[in-house]
Amino acid sequence: MRLKFSQFLVLLLMIGGLMLGGCSTEKVSSSTSPASTATSKATEASSKSTAEAVTPSKNNSERVPGIKNLPRLEGKATVVMTVKGAPITIEVDGNNAPITAGNFVDLVQKGVYDGLVFHRVVREPQPFVVQGGDPQSKNPNTPAQQLGTGGYIDPTIKTERRIPLEIKPEGADQPVYSQTITKKPVLTHKLGAVAMARSQMPDSASSQFYFALADLGFLDGNYAVFAYVTDGFDVVNKIQQGDRIDSAKVTKGAENFKPPQ
């Protein structure tokens, strides 16, 4: 079904608002948002993804530089994130997004998300996303305009850890890496999806993530969904910009986590 012109404008305004978070060319994470490359349905229709012709194989991940140095989740895990004293249960899917899920679980186990702020909440003119995970937000003195530009600094490499865009198409054995896809993914942006925010560069996700506040199918194939809220979505719906994560803990499936090789 085609979007009415007014609906199309609303969509562009929401996405455009998210892109205003930063525009630095020096740091790719400065425009981190769940819509910085999927600007509109019209754009997607006019330019086909290079991944359309890609046939995922068991060796697909081996073509991505540095992927063996990233944590993985081989199976599923449960994370309980507490916000303002209320729990949000998240099922993390390492079967279909092993690198993205592994990165998230690793950061949870390291306590990276504890105390961080949800710096972007978009509910008007229609429900969109709740976004957080910028490590800079732990410091209450960080300027508001700077939030949304940071990622996790890995102490072993002394720089920001970035993970490749990882999306598994339906019917594929393995995910496609480092590129968007036009085929329907296994993990879609349905209500309660948890996905990684990134800049316009596909492999720029680090620690920032977002909750989908509605079915956001226009983001499918462009951003990496890796988990779903299974309980406590009412808590997500109450999150306001500036609210902090009390804590995040792995409560099940920790044995499926594999550290970097």
More confident residue, 24 or 95: 95
What is the reported pLDDT for 50? Answer: 34
For 142-196, give the DSSP string: S-GGGTTS---EETTTTEE--B--EEPBTT-SS-EESS--SSPBSS---TTEEEE
| Mean pLDDT, rounded, for 247-259 | 98
- The candidate with the shortest Cα–Cα distance to 212, out of 204, 220, 200, 221, is 220
The CA-based dihedral angle spanning residues 178, 146, 227, 231, taken in that order and rounded to the nearest 10 degrees:
-170
More confident residue, 260 or 113: 113
What average pLDDT does the chain have? 84
| Mean pLDDT, rounded, for 4-21 | 47
Q: How far apart are CA 97 and CA 72, in angstroms?
A: 9
End-to-end CA gap in the chain: 46
Q: Is the pLDDT of residue 75 over 60?
A: yes
What is the reported pLDDT for 17? Answer: 35
What is the reported pLDDT for 8? Answer: 53
| Mean pLDDT, rounded, for 44-73 | 59
Task: Enter the tokens of residue 241.
Answer: 């910009």
What is the reported pLDDT for 34? Answer: 64
Give the model confidence (pLDDT) of 175-210 as tens digits. Answer: 999 999 999 999 999 999 999 999 999 999 999 999
- In this prediction, residue 14 has a pLDDT band, given cuts at 50, 70 and 90, of low
More confident residue, 55 or 86: 86
What are the residue boundaries of the structural domains of the chain, listed by start? Answer: 28-38+69-255
What is the reported pLDDT for 64? Answer: 77
- The candidate with the shortest Cα–Cα distance to 151, out of 257, 246, 32, 15, is 32
Q: Is the pLDDT of residue 74 over 60?
A: yes
What is the reported pLDDT for 83? Answer: 98
Place of tokens 């594929």: 172
Q: Is the pLDDT of residue 90 over 90?
A: yes
- Domain 28-38+69-255 classified CATH 3.40.50.1000? no
- In this prediction, residue 7 has a pLDDT band, given cuts at 50, 70 and 90, of low
Q: Is the pLDDT of residue 88 over 70?
A: yes
What is the reported pLDDT for 29? Answer: 40
More confident residue, 101 or 67: 101
What is the reported pLDDT for 260? Answer: 86
- Secondary structure of 117-151 as H, E, C letters: EEEEEECCCCCCEEEECCHHHHCCCCCHHHCCCCC
